[in-house]
Structure 1
Amino acid sequence: MMFIFKLIFKPSEYWPEFEKDRSSWQEYFFRYALTFGLIGPVLSFISLKDISFQKAIIYAPATYIADMTVLFVFSFFTAKLLRMDFSTIMKFYILVNIPIWLSDVFDIYQPLRVLSNIGFLYSFYLLYTGLRFFKKEKYILPVFVIHLVLYVLNAVLSEVIATNPILKKMIKILAF
Structure 2
Amino acid sequence: MITRRQTLQKLALGAPPLVWTAQAFAASFLSLEQAQRALLPQASEFVEQALEPDVAALKAAGLGVPAGYAPKAWLARTGEAFQGWVLLDRVVGKYELIDYAAGFNAQGQVSGVEVLVYRESHGAEIRTPAWRRQFEGRKGPSQIRFGDDIRNISGATLSCQHVTEGVQRLSALVQGLVKAREGR
TM-score, scaled relative to structure 1:
0.35
Higher helix proportion, which one? Answer: 1
- Provide the TM-score with structure 2 as the length reference: 0.34
Highest relative contact order (Cα 8 Å, sep 6+), 1 or 2? 1
| Bigger Cα Rg | 2
Q: Which structure carries more strand by proportion?
A: 2
